[in-house]
């Protein structure tokens, strides 16, 4: 008899949600997780809760408040004298938020009677996992079904070896105890722009080196252009077409070499963040020995329902194909648990939203104009600028726009793209609409409270048919 009905390897947003859903469905469930926090204590939540989504958003909010107090609240009649910054207190608050949420996951495990095994899991077969516990003990556990949710780690760059002090990855950039005078960032993607925004708003001079000649080239072109314009206006020095060559750390900073259209360039900064993406965390998993198939980039090969090449072994989240997003991992975890229970679990990958938590925020779901053109799909587009929205004016945040793409014949919404205040919250309405196969006309005829930012979505839907009311 197996030790557990379901054994999950990894306790991040994919793994812990899969474990909770499996337990809700009546399975005897365990989760093996190797994470330790800064104090060396076991902690659930994986990268997202410990050194990713949650701490970065805590710092982004703190930086936003500091920036507004210094530069924006005067228009509201709010005056402040001798504004100071306490980075230690800011970091303490961030750490408290992290501890609250990770301990909350532990409480959910207890509530759902999930066995939390503190250690590293290694796959032996489709029914066996070898566990090396934090206390050094070793054991082999058996399970009816195994779910692999080991997440991802920052991609290393040989020419910029991370030392945790001068050259850092995203984890290091979340833990600065002082604001660097000059911060260099390799990579103009989600991580680079979010963390660059944090430290720039706190007073750092931030230089972003982006290899591509276009910032955020996978976004809708209108949104990407607006993002570059606004972030540059805020003070981010975004250098496109910068082909990184080397980073050399010294006692006083980091010397960076890169090539541009003007030839070889040299840059000196106090600290250098390597933010060139993430890779699947399959090292030490025992995949090859157990017969688990990986692709050339190290991702575990799965079918549309996250089944691996081993019977009754599933893999979810960053360790498989698709976007490396916490909510995508969670949805896959729920799907797999329900499939194991004989239910019809599924994930609609066409309606997975994306968000970049700069200010203004950037959010999107579905197709871009370029992708629809590549596929030969005829479509219509409607846009509406936040400057035409009453709530945006009341807030003092009128920059940005909403763009909706709908199929020409059916009017079914195929993509929604937003850059503006609270875009991360606004995108949920678009996701819901698309989940139900809704049309731009459906959204255009849906009453929205006034004044709200959500009215921008309705106006963009009206614009698809050329009848926006407030422009």
Write down the catalytic residue from 71, 327, 450, 470.
450
Pull the structure tokens for residue 470. Answer: 């407030």
450 is catalytic: yes
Task: Give the position of tokens 């600065």.
Answer: 176
411: nearest Cα among 384, 450, 382: 382
3-state secondary structure the chain: CCCEEEEEECCCHHHHHHHHHHHHCCCCEEEEECCECCCCCECCCHHHHHHCHHHHHHHHHHHHHHHHHHHCHHHHCCCCCCCCCCHHHHHHHHHHHHHHHHHHHHHHHHHCCCEEEEEEEEECCCCEEEEEECCCCEEEEEEEEEEECCCEEECCCCCCCCCCCCEECHHHHCCCCCCCCEEEEECCCHHHHHHHHHHHHCCCEEEEEECCCCCCCCCCHHHHHHHHHHHHHHCCEEEECCEEEEEEECCCCEEEEEEECCEEEEEEECEEEECCCEEECCCCCCHHHHCCCECCCCCECCCCCCECCCCCEEECHHHCCCCCCHHHHHHHHHHHHHHHCCCCCCCCHHHCCEEECCCCEEEEEECCHHHHHHCCCCEEEEEEEHHHCHHHHHHCCCCCEEEEEEECCCCEEEEEEEEECCHHHHHHHHHHHHHCCCEHHHHHCCCCCCCCCCHHHHHHHHHHCCCCCCC
List active site positions: 450
């Amino acid at each position: 008899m197996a030790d557990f009905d379901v054994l999950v390897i990894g306790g991040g947003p994919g793994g812990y949600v899969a474990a909770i859903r499996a337990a809700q469905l009546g399975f005897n469930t365990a989760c093996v997780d190797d994470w330790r926090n800064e104090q060396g204590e076991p902690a659930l939540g994986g990268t997202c809760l410990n050194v990713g989504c949650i701490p970065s958003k805590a710092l982004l909010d703190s930086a936003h408040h500091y920036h507004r107090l210094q530069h924006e609240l005067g228009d509201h009649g709010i005056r402040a004298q001798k504004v100071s910054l306490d980075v230690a207190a800011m970091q303490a608050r961030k750490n408290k938020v992290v501890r609250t949420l990770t301990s909350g996951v532990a409480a959910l495990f207890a509530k759902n009677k999930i066995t939390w095994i503190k250690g590293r899991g290694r796959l032996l077969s489709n029914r066996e996992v070898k566990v090396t516990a934090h206390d050094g003990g070793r054991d082999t556990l058996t399970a009816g079904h195994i779910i692999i949710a080991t997440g991802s780690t920052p991609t290393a760059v040989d020419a910029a070896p991370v030392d945790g002090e001068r050259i850092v990855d995203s984890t290091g950039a979340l833990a600065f105890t002082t604001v660097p005078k000059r911060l260099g960032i390799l990579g103009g993607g989600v991580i680079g722009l979010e963390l660059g925004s944090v430290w720039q708003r706190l007073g750092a001079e931030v230089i972003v080196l982006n290899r591509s000649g276009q910032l955020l080239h996978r976004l809708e072109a209108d949104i990407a252009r607006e993002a570059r314009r606004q972030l540059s206006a805020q003070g981010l020095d975004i250098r496109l077409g910068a082909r990184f060559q080397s980073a050399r750390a010294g006692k006083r900073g980091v010397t960076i070499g890169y090539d541009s259209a003007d030839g070889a360039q040299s840059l000196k900064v106090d600290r250098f963040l390597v933010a060139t993406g993430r890779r699947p965390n399959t090292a030490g998993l025992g995949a090859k020995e157990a017969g688990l198939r990986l692709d050339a980039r190290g991702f575990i090969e799965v079918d549309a329902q996250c089944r691996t090449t081993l019977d009754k072994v599933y893999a979810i989240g960053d360790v498989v194909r698709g976007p490396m997003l916490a909510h995508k991992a969670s949805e896959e975890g729920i799907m797999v648990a329900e499939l194991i229970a004989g239910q019809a679990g599924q994930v609609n990958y066409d309606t997975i939203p994306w968000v970049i938590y700069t200010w203004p925020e950037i959010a999107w779901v579905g197709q871009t104009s370029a992708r629809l053109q590549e596929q030969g799909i005829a479509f219509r587009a409607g846009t509406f600028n936040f400057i035409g929205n009453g709530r945006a004016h009341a807030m003092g945040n009128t920059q940005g726009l909403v763009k909706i793409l709908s199929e020409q014949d059916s009017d079914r919404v195929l993509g929604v793209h937003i850059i503006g205040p609270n875009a991360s919250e606004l995108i949920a309405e678009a996701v819901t609409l698309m989940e139900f196969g809704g049309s731009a006309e459906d959204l255009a005829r849906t009453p929205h409270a006034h004044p709200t930012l959500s009215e921008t979505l309705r106006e963009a839907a009206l614009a698809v048919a050329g009848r926006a009311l407030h422009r």
